Amino acid sequence: MSSIVCDLDHARVLKRSETGKPNRADVESAFRTIIRWTGDDPERDGLIDTPARVGLAFEEYFAGYGQDPALILQKTFEIVECRHDRGDPQSARGRRHHQGDASLHEHAGRAST
């Protein structure tokens, strides 16, 4: 490995250790390594963009770690009255609805914050 590459790699490691979090290039490099580990060539057609796609997918998978759970848990749903609740709750439609017939739940609730 040339001294320039070693210096660049060392600088990248130092920068990463300052923040503690690998950057996007580090993640993509890791996925290229995994592809090589499986015996395939990460530079071949069909795989060339895979490390970037997988990196993006992992950002989406773990996006919740950057969210405030208190804000998410503040969301509530209000109960709304069913049209058929005003009538006979023992009717066939009323019994199906309250036993969980999804086709009858279009009015089940509205999200509120």
Residue 78 or residue 99, greater confidence: 78
In this structure, the answer to whether residues 79 and 63 fall within a common structural domain is no
Q: How many domains does the chain have?
A: 2
In-domain check, residue 61: yes
- Determine the structural domain holding residue 61 and report its residue range: 22-67
Q: How far apart are CA 49 and CA 43, in angstroms?
A: 9
Contact 108, 83 (CB under 8 A): no
Confidence of residue 28 (pLDDT cuts 50, 70, 90): very high
* Lowest-confidence segment of 17-26, 53-62, 91-100 by average pLDDT: 91-100
Contact 82, 59 (CB under 8 A): no
In-domain check, residue 10: no
In this structure, the answer to whether residues 83 and 106 fall within a common structural domain is yes
33-50 burial, b for 16+ CB within 10 Å, e for fewer?
eebeeeeeebeeeeeeeb
* pTM of the entire predicted model: 0.48
In-domain check, residue 12: no
**Ramachandran assignment for 20, one of left (phi > 0), alpha (psi -120 to 50 degrees), beta (any other):** left
CATH number at 57 reads 1.10.286.10
In this structure, the answer to whether residues 56 and 27 fall within a common structural domain is yes
Give the pLDDT confidence score for residue 79 in this predicted structure. 79
Region 51-79: mean pLDDT is: 90
Tell the burial category of 30 from Cβ atoms under 10 Å away from its Cβ (0-12, 13-18, 19+).
Answer: middle
Confidence of residue 1 (pLDDT cuts 50, 70, 90): very low
In this structure, the answer to whether residues 34 and 63 fall within a common structural domain is yes
Closest by Cα among 37, 13, 39 to 26: 13
In-domain check, residue 14: no
